[in-house]
Amino acid sequence: MLAVALALVIPAVARAQHLLVPMDDAQSNHLKAYGLTFNALRDGNKAEWFINYRGGSFLLPDIAELRKRATLDGVTFESIDNGQLAAIRSELASGNMDAISLERAPKVAIYRPAKSPPWDDAVTLALQYAGIEFASVYDEEVMNGDLAKYDWVHLHHEDFTGQQNKLYLGFRDTPWFIEQRERAMASARKLGFATIPAMKKAVAERLRQFVERGGFLFAMCGATETLSLAIAAYQTDIAGSFADGTPVDEAADSKLDWDRSFAFKDVHLEPSPFVNSMSDIDGHQVNVPGRRQPLGQFTLFQFSAKFDPVSSMLVQNHRTVIQDFYGVTTSFNKGTIKQGVTILAQEDGAPWAKYIHGDYGKGSWTYLGGHDPEDPQHNIGAAPTDLSLHPTSPGYRLILNNVLFPAAKKKPLKT
């Protein structure tokens, strides 16, 4: 009887020990798969990211809690044993693939106002849908030192020049804009600043310091451009550049200090306060009649998983060509991008990049142009995107790659 019992137990133990979460077309909910992995790390489990293997698949332990969550969230998973895992590792070793250990869930914050409209932030929508917890911070929290509590901070279309994205040109009489402006002015006074632009430049400087000290920063839409302008102008006094109704003085461009900027150089400011553009960083100029460029498609670059694991993680996807989408800042003119910045995606044949990344001090930053990957036109006041209708969105996957890659254990570079 004992021999029979052992025969029954041994196969059960050996049958399945790991969950493989595929991220190719076999996956039914790519976005919630990130949440499954993030929360597995948060709960103290080990995980791996199989870079360039089946769309950037995840390996998780085969435990009841993870099976249950995956099933409830509609996340596709495959049970594999040690023998199957060994075969996968052999495949990873032989091609442009790698296994990246994920150590712990990063502490995540989103920079956003307390009364943010629901159409305001694709990253908020992504994290909420994926089930990834985050904190909200804004100007007062940043100036009070709260950034030190977090590993990863996201910025969206916030205007760090203090011009509120020049929305006063078309929306100055709307209640939501008036409330937004008055709330910003109240915060500026509370923090001891005479103007909104002065406060926003100080906030931008704190964000620069956050990255310099080792933080991960991800920005989309107008925040990519205006953060750069505010950082470059922090130690200068440029008359009119960050104030409603006053033209930029002719010497303003030469006063900007681009050595302090993450991504850009040799930028020309928009001189008129009555033209809805900040600078020539954005190639699409969506809000300026006569300058607006049509949307195309952008292509993700493929990187060496073994030699450039960070860039490889940031472009993991089940699609390499993705439909473009507008934002206050949609793209980044290549002529303004610094040497050493990694271009992660671009529109073939166009003079702009869509998705860029770089190191700064002890930390790193990533910029993705555009506002909402599933709302190409992004009209103010539009209903928020329902991600349950887009669970396999390749554009939203780029956002969630950025949330997860700070969890990766750093490997020594192979030379």
Q: What's the pLDDT tens digit per position in 160-216?
A: 987 766 655 556 667 666 677 788 888 889 999 988 888 999 999 999 999 999 999
Structural domain includes residue 171: yes
Structural domain includes residue 260: yes
Contacts of 391 (CB under 8 A, 6+ apart): 28, 29, 30, 31, 32, 74
Q: How far apart are CA 70 and CA 73, in angstroms?
A: 5
Structural domain includes residue 228: yes
End-to-end CA distance of the chain: 58
What confidence score (pLDDT) does residue 236 get? 67
DSSP 109: E
Structural domain includes residue 415: no
Whether residues 98 and 115 fall in one domain: no
For 51-60, 181-190, 195-204, 217-226, which range has the lowest pLDDT when averaged over its residues?
181-190
Whether residues 75 and 175 fall in one domain: no
Mean pLDDT for the stretch of residues 5-17: 48
CB neighbours of residue 287 within 10 Å: 19
Q: How far apart are CA 358 and CA 112, in angstroms?
A: 23
Percent of the chain with pLDDT over 90: 68
Whether residues 115 and 18 fall in one domain: no
Strands, E assignment, 3-132: 18-21, 47-51, 57-61, 78-80, 98-102, 108-111
- 174-175-178-179 Cα dihedral, nearest 10 degrees: -150
Residue 377: pLDDT band with limits 50, 70, 90: confident
Range of the domain at 36: 2-102
Burial 18-42 (b: 16+ CB within 10 A, else e): bbbbbbeeebebbbbbbbbbbbbbe
Domain boundary among 54, 81, 102: 102
What confidence score (pLDDT) does residue 90 get? 97
Pairing of strands 321-323, 98-102: unpaired
Structural domain includes residue 13: yes
Whether residues 161 and 126 fall in one domain: yes
Instruction: Write the Ramachandran bin of 382: left for phi over 0, alpha for psi from -120 to 50, otherwise beta.
Output: beta
Task: Name the strands in the sheet holding 18-21, side by side, starting at the edge strand that comes first in the sequence.
Answer: 78-80, 18-21, 57-61, 47-51, 98-102
Whether residues 323 and 249 fall in one domain: yes
Whether residues 249 and 293 fall in one domain: yes
Residue 20, SS3 per DSSP: strand
User: At 155, which CATH number?
Assistant: 3.40.50.880
Structural domain includes residue 119: yes
Counting the structural domains of the chain, the total is: 2
Q: How far apart are CA 164 and CA 186, in angstroms?
A: 15
The pLDDT of residue 245 is above 70: no
Domain boundary among 80, 102, 124: 102
What confidence score (pLDDT) does residue 156 get? 79
* CB 365 within 8 Å of CB 357: yes
Whether residues 30 and 118 fall in one domain: no
Domain boundary among 102, 130, 158: 102
Whether residues 114 and 85 fall in one domain: no
Dihedral pair phi/psi, residue 387, rounded to 5°: -70, -15
Structural domain includes residue 122: yes
Structural domain includes residue 147: yes
Q: How far apart are CA 200 and CA 160, in angstroms?
A: 5
Residue 248: pLDDT band with limits 50, 70, 90: low
Whether residues 272 and 355 fall in one domain: yes
Q: What is the chain's percent helix, strand, coil content, to nearest 5?
A: 35, 15, 45
Whether residues 238 and 369 fall in one domain: yes
Whether residues 118 and 32 fall in one domain: no
For 92-106, 208-222, 250-264, 303-317, which range has the lowest pLDDT when averaged over its residues?
250-264
Residue 126, SS3 per DSSP: helix
Percent of the chain with pLDDT over 70: 85
Whether residues 313 and 178 fall in one domain: yes
Instruction: State which amino acid sits at residue 153.
Output: V
Quote the mean pLDDT of the chain.
Answer: 88
What confidence score (pLDDT) does residue 6 get? 40
The pLDDT of residue 397 is above 60: yes
User: At 80, which CATH number?
Assistant: 3.30.70
For 93-97, 162-166, 274-278, 372-376, which range has the lowest pLDDT when averaged over its residues?
162-166
Residue 290: pLDDT band with limits 50, 70, 90: confident
More confident residue, 194 or 393: 393
